[in-house]
Amino acid sequence: MKKQKVALVSLGCPKNLVDAEVMLGHLPADRFEIITDEAKADIIIVNTCSFIKEAKEESVETILEVADFKKNGNCRKLVVSGCLPQRYQDELARELPEVDLFMGTGDAPRIVELLDADLEGERLPLAVGMADYLYDHTTPRVKSSPFYSTYVKIAEGCANHCSYCIIPQLRGTLRSRSIASVVAEVQRLVAEGVKEVNLIAQDVTAYGADREDGARLEDLLGELVKIEGLQWLRLLYAYPDGISDELIELIASEEKICKYLDVPLQHVDDSILAMMNRRVDQAAIRGLLDRLRRRIPEITLRTSFIVGFPGETESQFERLLDFVNEGHFERVGVFRYSREEGTAAAELESQVPERIKKSRYQKLMKAQKRVSFRKNRALVGNTEPVLIEGYSEETDLLLRGRSIRQAPDVDGQVYVTAGHADIGSIVALRITDSSDYDLIGEIVES
């Protein structure tokens, strides 16, 4: 029987990417061939995000674009998976008749069952299942990231219940993998050539809180750093009140753990933080930043902020702007508040007009751009470990890579003006110049 060609388009965050890779892993190789050209695919899967308004719009636009391949390509089945159908299955079924099958965030193991039922003309009564799935080290997975770097999801779901966030409804409550499962997966990935592992979850500091075996993030890291061949271990999305002194000490003392931490704060005004149900205040935030900088002076910190939260006054925004101008963070992501139905914040009065959100977004990004430029300039003259990823998009005469200070996909890059190294290698690079977000340097011969 001829193999069916499958192409996947994955949108949204790295957690979504891992879901997509697990979904592809469940497709038997004797029946399905995974390709990258949607025009030649028999089956196209769009793995969606619906975290905020812009993500929903991008997902719908992508679905409509890909649907054209049913008319002008080989596509016979269009599958939409992930957060969008988990949230809006009924509405999507009405509005997008081009789609043959909808799958939720927990349906990856059912993909063959669902495809077979659809191909046979059977409509399952509930195609979108419960958001209760959690993959482990035995789960098949088709890695789509570069051979030297990957993401490993250590937990799924979230129990924080921030008032603006829809994630618990899309992905369920916190479900942590066992330490042994995560270690086994990382061991296998490193044996396959991975050098950088980025640990992800909705909140990595909550890891293990749901388990009866007492597992903690600190215990997990203690086991992972023992893996021979693993060079960079990076933590993404750490809730501020979960960052213990023990975790800080681990980051400081363990060579394999990148001196890098992504700590989404969302705001610094105490009233806004309380309405967001964030469990921290500005004093706690400043205390945490002081502890991090004192124990790990070279640490790179990333955060995200929301502007235009319901009721945010000009003075409260100015308080946030002043905080950013103080220069606490090397990297900052800014989001305009998105009013998501089903969240507590959507019911709050005093919703901020879009024009004001946009203005505040621009002011905050401009402020951080100045901070980022200043911090990058301070690195000139330093020698830093850099992971070589390929060639510049502008010219194949320049190698490009990422410093240990730069996470994949969200941070800047390093451009190499002298020296040569293989893709996937980690080299010493002397920083000779910088821009707002990128670094420039020369490989230092050992």
Per the annotation, where are the binding residues for [4Fe-4S] cluster?
13, 49, 83, 158, 162, 165
Count the residues in the chain. Answer: 446
Q: What is the spatial order of strands in the sheet that 4-10 belongs to?
A: 32-35, 4-10, 43-48, 77-82, 101-103
The stretches of 229-348 forming alpha helices (DSSP H) are 245-253, 270-275, 282-295, 314-325
Instruction: Compute the distance between CA of residue 317 and CA of residue 314 in angstroms, rounded to an integer.
Output: 5
Strands (E) located in 195-340: 196-200, 232-235, 257-262, 300-307, 331-336
Q: Which single residue is written with the structure tokens 């975790």? A: 247
And the tokens for 321?
Answer: 């702007």
And the tokens for 282?
Answer: 């500005």
In this structure, the strands spanning 439-443 and 414-418 are parallel
Buried b (16+ CB within 10 A) or exposed e, 410-435: ebbbbbbeebebeebebbbbbbeebe
Instruction: Compute the distance between CA of residue 274 and CA of residue 260 in angstroms, rounded to an integer.
Output: 27
Closest to 197 measured CA to CA, from 226, 159, 235 = 235
Q: Provide the sign of the torsion angle of the four alpha carbons 25, 26, 27, 30, taken in this order.
A: positive
Binding-site residue set: 13, 49, 83, 158, 162, 165
